Structure 1
Amino acid sequence: MSASRYPGWESFTFPVGQASADQPVAFCADLSPASVLGGYRRGIVPIPAETEFIRTRNEVLYEDKVAAGAIAIVGGSRDDPYWVAWWSPDPRLLIQGEGVHLGRNVRKRLRRDGLVTSADTAFRRVAEECRAGREPRWLTDSLLGSLAELHTAGWAHSIEVWRGDDLVGGALCMGIGEVLSGDSLFGRHPGGAAIAVADMWARLGVVGGKVIDAQWDSPFLRSLGAAPVAREQYLALLDRSAAPVSLPREALPALRLLPAQP
């Protein structure tokens, strides 16, 4: 098998004979808004290298698999692709069906803390909170710049959780048809991140959406009701021709996210 190269995401197909799910599916240096959107439309998310060390580590770890065609190269031959690894986890962690499960402590917070949620009113602030203090920083300036442009175009979204004027929780996500792909979360208040996910689910439902792509497996996301499915099942849910979806933006009491009493 020889190296797999594609000029852009439109022609990309997933590599055959991928040795491990714990590796990227492609390297591509292009972090333009069009490239980022093209990846998301195919269930693929970028993880840029913040430093030369991480870029070199990508090459050392994966150059043999690139040469064998198990990891693709996307973009022009003059680009240095190892600056950005593109991942498509398999299995994929999804929230669907019964939606988000909020634990007892979070439900207590909803009842007593007077929290309010909104969407798409503080995208940059949420993004900065999501990447604050995280090393290595995958949400680089270049990627954030493209996500901000995609936000202006209606593709990328933010969820905000407020306690008064204080932003205490939030999430970033990308909308592809009936799917919101969740990129990052933060919480500076107990339950703030979980409430952001619950609000994302509620607003998605208003516009007819059905699935939150939680991307990466973790005990926290499992506790919210996320469950793994095969990547092929997830890819079948994506509508590559979908137009941007506008989430309801208005500020609403977080108390509404409490599950209905039986």
Structure 2
Amino acid sequence: MPSPVRPRSAWGLLALASAPADGPVAFGDDLSPCSLLEAYRRGLYPFPTATVEHRLLNELSHEPEVAAGRIALQTGSRDPYGVAWCSPDPRPVIYVARARLQRSLRRQLRAADWTTTVDVCFPRVVAQCREGRAEHWLTDDLLASLTILHECGYAHSVEVWDGDELIGGVFGMRVGAVFSADSQFTLRSGAGKAAVAELTRRFAEAGGVAVDVQRDSDHVRLLGARPIPRAQYLDLLRGPHRPSPLRTGRRPVRLLTD
């Protein structure tokens, strides 16, 4: 697997044991492919600001914690409050060996004539995930780095199709035994859930252990996510598992109900 650049070790100096459980654990504007990949490996994900107002809100809201050393500042940042880096505690994950579909979703998918693919149109999936969102955290800089990481084999997408129409999808970053799912979209009821379910199934087949859904909610609980302590999540990232590549062929979505 090619590397976008040699990984830097700056994130390795970040101590998460005393970091906030909610909200940012660090600030810094380096969204280069190298920084982004290393951050995911350390249990972080980015939340860039889309406006000057959001950037000022970051500084005003969190400057006391930064001054006290509870939130780190990325070294060398020109606009340190431009990107918040998060690592929630607890962290919601779907253990692939225990994943189960809701009964209502199983009924829907049995009757659907949809298909799924992997990495057929990563840029389209990411573009759909930011379409119509009030907070455009999927900024152009982040998209550029995600695209490079996709080309290098680290970032992946799962697509759901109705014929030739793209109706749902999910994308994220693969780190060893964990797949960190960044965002999903749905253009047809149930298609986004089907994308996450298909990601979970294919990642399990490849030897993966868990799909990280980053932020807890009733929605992700319905997909089988359960919160685990941050320390346990970090152990998963450091685990010895080395999954094989995701299978990319087209499949009927009905196979998810087997």
Determine if the TM-score, normalized by the shorter chain, exceeds 0.5. yes
Alignment CA distance shift 1:75-1:15 (3 Å):
farther
Map of 1:149-168 to 2, 5 A cutoff? Answer: 149-168=148-167
What corresponds to 2:12 in structure 1?
10
Shift of 1:104: 2.9
Q: Which runs of 5+ in 2 are unaligned?
A: 1-7
Alignment CA distance shift 1:102-1:240 (3 Å):
closer
Map of 1:1-262 to 2, 5 A cutoff? Answer: 8-14=10-16, 16=18, 18=19, 20-76=20-76, 79-96=78-95, 98-239=97-238, 246-258=245-257, 260=258
CA distance in structure 2 between the partners assigned to 1:158 and 1:180 by the alignment:
11
Alignment CA distance shift 1:243-1:50 (3 Å):
farther
CA distance in structure 1 between the partners assigned to 2:241 and 2:55 by the alignment:
33
CA-to-aligned-CA distance 1:150-190 (integer Å, 9 cap, x gap): 00000000000000001111001110011101100111111
CA distance in structure 2 between the partners assigned to 1:180 and 1:168 by the alignment:
22
Q: Do the aligned partners of 1:176 and 1:244 also contact (CA within 8 Å) in 2?
A: no
CA distance in structure 2 between the partners assigned to 1:90 and 1:21 by the alignment:
5
CA-to-aligned-CA distance 1:60-96 (integer Å, 9 cap, x gap): 00011100001001121x5221000000011000101
Q: Which runs of 5+ in 1 are unaligned?
A: 1-5
The one-letter code sitting in structure 2 at the alignment partner of 1:63 is E
Q: Do the aligned partners of 1:168 and 1:192 also contact (CA within 8 Å) in 2?
A: yes
CA distance in structure 1 between the partners assigned to 2:176 and 2:166 by the alignment:
28
CA distance in structure 1 between the partners assigned to 2:151 and 2:243 by the alignment:
11
How many residues are aligned here? 251
Q: Do the aligned partners of 2:116 and 2:253 also contact (CA within 8 Å) in 1?
A: yes
Shift of 1:192: 0.6
- 1:46 match: secondary structure: strand
Q: Do the aligned partners of 1:161 and 1:196 also contact (CA within 8 Å) in 2?
A: yes
CA distance in structure 2 between the partners assigned to 1:34 and 1:111 by the alignment:
42
- 1:174 match: secondary structure: strand
